[in-house]
Amino acid sequence: MDGFDLRKMECVAVFGATQDSSKFGYKVLVDLQRGGYLVYGINPNYREIEGIPCFPDIASLPRRPDLLVFVVPPRVTEKALVEAHTAGIGRIWMQPGSESPEAIAYCVENGMDVVHDACIMIRRKEGGGGLSG
């Protein structure tokens, strides 16, 4: 895995986006928008969050994101990775708590670049370099 550079990303989707400002699904979504990215939320319970469009699932996104960020429990991540792979999404970021050995293995086995054990908000503020695993 080569990792990837967040500075080269244009469109990012956040799987597990929420309107609850105390949760990371909100914090990551808003942080990425403030960072200048085109951002989409993925959560079937919302149509928008802070003006950011939300979609019920990966297949509903209006365009394929350069990066898909997971902010959900590991079991949800594992299931959604199949949908991400089917949609042709090749870069995955698993926020701390969203990863599992099975999810990481799925990405590796299917040729998807994956970052885990790192917070995207911290990495973005440090200069945007993404490191695999």
Query: What's the mean pLDDT in 25-44?
Result: 96
The reported pLDDT for the residue numbered 55 is 98
Who has greater pLDDT, 133 or 95? Answer: 95
Cα 98 to Cα 128: distance, rounded to the nearest angstrom: 20
- CATH number of the domain residue 34 falls in: 3.40.50.720
Structure tokens at 112: 């998807």
71-112 tens-digit pLDDT: 999 999 999 999 999 999 999 999 999 999 999 999 999 999
Give the domain extent around 112: 4-130
pTM of the entire predicted model:
0.93
Cα 16 to Cα 55: distance, rounded to the nearest angstrom: 10
Q: How many domains does the chain have?
A: 1
35-68 tens-digit pLDDT: 999 999 999 999 999 999 999 999 999 999 999 9
Residue 128: band (very low, low, confident or very high) from pLDDT cuts 50, 70, 90: low
Q: Which residues of 13-50 are buried (b: 16+ CB within 10 A; e: fewer)?
A: bbbbbbbeeeebbbbbbbbbbebebbbbbbbeebeebe
Residue that the structure tokens 């698993």 belong to? 94
